[in-house]
Chain A
């Protein structure tokens, strides 16, 4: 099953490469997305029976992240055919192949039980997503691709060095290959502390670059701004989730070694910095796609902030991964529709979208409200609980700053969004034949409904999965369930709020 999840999308990619008709090629995407999701749901039942020495396999954390990515891919895949019809002038072959290959590699990353394999998966994810950014084949997208590749490659190179440092930390302590995560966590007390710390810093910087944490996010506004909305949605919810997962795996080892305090301070710092940076650049942002990129920087900040706080906040950070991916897909896809309709993505040219493309306009507005924390949407639940977790676990200052930043970001974003949606029509507007159709809006409505539903009700199996995933990340959560890993020093347990 593990191999099938990886091989199936890659075979679909091969099929997409071989098929000559662009209509059939575009239809492969939703078919493959649905099947992958179905396969994953079938595989989910076995996540708790993963052998310790397996090279590949789904554990709770990997299953959760892959579930998020697969759902997001499905939404985008159902949107893709109608989008590709609109862009019939472009060759869709590389586009479809890259999308499907990404899904396969994300499945590899989610199931990788060895830091080296995880690194290889992350590296190849960068490779296959680069052509997606160059989809428009103009100078601007070339510039974005160059920055994405160069900065991404440096980040991934640092992550490789971090992985080698981790291996040396193990080697130093007498733990030899194969360095499966489970083994590393079980023998965490043997690892050499200085090397482990250095490894974590390098992996944080390296994978943080791929996530787009400030100040390593500089590729992000360019890449998200120049790609089609559908690619933006997959990058903001998929590729970043992959990098986050790779980081969480290393973090789990660091926590198991009793170095949680050191890592948490770094995570909280990076999280705060990303939120501040994002807010500053969102103020008076005239390009609404770049604004979404900064929103992504902010939400990556929220994720690592939540993990850094630990306890309940860590669990809700994982929940936020799903919330962010769903709402980001609504935002990027509706922004793509609006962009298409106005053939511009900057402010004086794009105003009053609610009249020209009513459905996309409403979706963009609702997506904005959802991502900034309007109940009952899922981001509200996670943002609220991360703040509550910070305030009740002794991080009063950080929790207060977190709330202030959320409010500031709401105000900064609202100015641009309100003008795009409601602004008075400007005479500079360009008429294009695009208008909303069922095919270009239905996947978005489904995504938004899912985000709302997730905020109201988390099905029991998913709840269990999430709880176990949180335990994998932050061992302090529920010591009763991880007997294999002796960890959680006194420092850690003291921070966990009693629910």
Chain B
């Protein structure tokens, strides 16, 4: 499978994600995206380096299994199924996502790539995924969906990291693995606290503090 095909699928999953209202489905798509991302380095032929293989396995395990597991457990206990009236509607989100992807292509065009780079779609895909994650983070009310947004944002950084991972493995791998760790560990704990304190993970409850 060519890496470009997998990257295109990743961008496609961004669109599906911003258009979905069901929290369960959003988590499912995040899982699919996590696995797609795990396959890209293999398709790029990076699987021969054991340390990259380790990063891939860790990323798939965390993004594809651990985080969704934590999120689903929280979801199950608070009985939320849908993202009710998000700050930005689904149609508008979809259009913004398309706009962001377009801008990413322009932006990536302005950044020169080192000669000999085979996968040229990585930079625009990284920027577009980053933008999608950001969009979900700011436009959704549920803490669970916000965490999904954070995961997608991280996926964008992971995509960019693939550009560098062969030449500077230590920098990229530590960064990505540590970022993942935060995603799971901290957010998982706080979601637990929010659940017990509010009996729901709707961040609308978290709106007492304002000026």
Interface of A with B (CB < 8 Å)? Answer: 116, 119-120, 123, 126-127, 130, 134, 139-140, 142-147, 149-150, 153-154, 156-157, 160-161, 163-165, 167-168, 171-172, 176-177, 179, 192, 194-195, 198, 221-222, 225-226, 281, 285, 290
Give chain A residues whose Cβ lies under 8 Å from the Cβ of B187: 149-150, 153
A440 to B105, CA, bound (A): 57
Contact (A145, B190) CB under 8 Å given A139-B197, A140-B209, A221-B209: yes
Contact of B40 with A by CB under 8 A: no
Write 8 A-B pairs (CB below 8 A) sorted by A numbering: A140-B208, A146-B203, A150-B150, A153-B150, A157-B154, A164-B164, A164-B175, A167-B172
Say yes or no: A176 contacts B203, CB within 8 Å. no
* Whole-angstrom distance between the Cβ of A65 and the nearest chain B Cβ: 22
Among candidates A161, A172, A179, A226, residue contacting B160 with C-beta atoms closer than 8 Å: A161
Say yes or no: B143 contacts A168, CB within 8 Å. no
Give chain A residues whose Cβ lies under 8 Å from the Cβ of B182: 123, 126-127, 153, 156
Binary interface profile of B, 136-153, with partner A (CB < 8 Å = 1, else 0)? 010000010010001001
Say yes or no: B171 contacts A163, CB within 8 Å. yes
* Whole-angstrom distance between the Cβ of A202 and the nearest chain B Cβ: 10
Give chain B residues whose Cβ lies under 8 Å from the Cβ of A285: 211
Say yes or no: B111 contacts A164, CB within 8 Å. no
Give chain A residues whose Cβ lies under 8 Å from the Cβ of B172: 164, 167
Say yes or no: B208 contacts A153, CB within 8 Å. no
Say yes or no: A119 contacts B203, CB within 8 Å. no
Give chain B residues whose Cβ lies under 8 Å from the Cβ of A142: 190, 193-194, 197, 206
Contact of B106 with A by CB under 8 A: no
Give chain A residues whose Cβ lies under 8 Å from the Cβ of B193: 134, 142, 145
Say yes or no: B164 contacts A167, CB within 8 Å. yes
Say yes or no: B186 contacts A127, CB within 8 Å. yes
Interface of B with A (CB < 8 Å)? Answer: 110-112, 114, 130, 134, 137, 143, 146, 150, 153-154, 156-157, 160-161, 163-164, 167-168, 170-172, 174-175, 178-179, 182-183, 186-187, 190, 193-194, 197-198, 203, 205-209, 211
* Whole-angstrom distance between the Cβ of A409 and the nearest chain B Cβ: 16
Closest 9 CB pairs of A and B: A143-B206, A116-B171, A222-B209, A160-B175, A161-B157, A177-B168, A172-B114, A194-B111, A142-B197
Among candidates A116, A157, A179, A222, residue contacting B153 with C-beta atoms closer than 8 Å: A157
Contact (A161, B206) CB under 8 Å given A123-B178, A142-B197: no
* Whole-angstrom distance between the Cβ of B122 and the nearest chain A Cβ: 11
A458 to B163, CA, bound (A): 48
Smallest Cβ-Cβ distance to B130: which chain A residue = A161
Say yes or no: B171 contacts A177, CB within 8 Å. yes
Say yes or no: A146 contacts B194, CB within 8 Å. yes
Say yes or no: B174 contacts A167, CB within 8 Å. no
* Whole-angstrom distance between the Cβ of B39 and the nearest chain A Cβ: 21
Say yes or no: A226 contacts B150, CB within 8 Å. no
Among candidates A119, A154, A171, A226, residue contacting B168 with C-beta atoms closer than 8 Å: A171
Contact (A116, B206) CB under 8 Å given A130-B186, A149-B186, A168-B164: no
Smallest Cβ-Cβ distance to B167: which chain A residue = A171
Give chain A residues whose Cβ lies under 8 Å from the Cβ of B194: 142, 146
Say yes or no: B209 contacts A160, CB within 8 Å. no
Say yes or no: A139 contacts B134, CB within 8 Å. no
Give chain A residues whose Cβ lies under 8 Å from the Cβ of B154: 157
Say yes or no: B137 contacts A281, CB within 8 Å. no
Say yes or no: B160 contacts A120, CB within 8 Å. no
Smallest Cβ-Cβ distance to A285: which chain B residue = B211
Give chain B residues whose Cβ lies under 8 Å from the Cβ of A139: 197-198, 205, 208
Known: A116-B174, A179-B168. 18 other contacts (CB 8 A): A127-B186, A139-B208, A140-B208, A145-B190, A146-B143, A147-B209, A149-B186, A150-B146, A154-B150, A156-B179, A156-B182, A163-B175, A164-B161, A168-B163, A168-B164, A176-B168, A177-B170, A194-B112
* Whole-angstrom distance between the Cβ of B154 and the nearest chain A Cβ: 6
* Whole-angstrom distance between the Cβ of A184 and the nearest chain B Cβ: 13
* Whole-angstrom distance between the Cβ of B192 and the nearest chain A Cβ: 11
Give chain A residues whose Cβ lies under 8 Å from the Cβ of B146: 150
* Whole-angstrom distance between the Cβ of B204 and the nearest chain A Cβ: 11
Among candidates B111, B178, B208, residue contacting A195 with C-beta atoms closer than 8 Å: B111
Give chain A residues whose Cβ lies under 8 Å from the Cβ of B163: 168
Say yes or no: B211 contacts A290, CB within 8 Å. yes
Say yes or no: B112 contacts A119, CB within 8 Å. no
Give chain A residues whose Cβ lies under 8 Å from the Cβ of B190: 130, 142, 145-146, 149
Give chain A residues whose Cβ lies under 8 Å from the Cβ of B112: 172, 192, 194-195
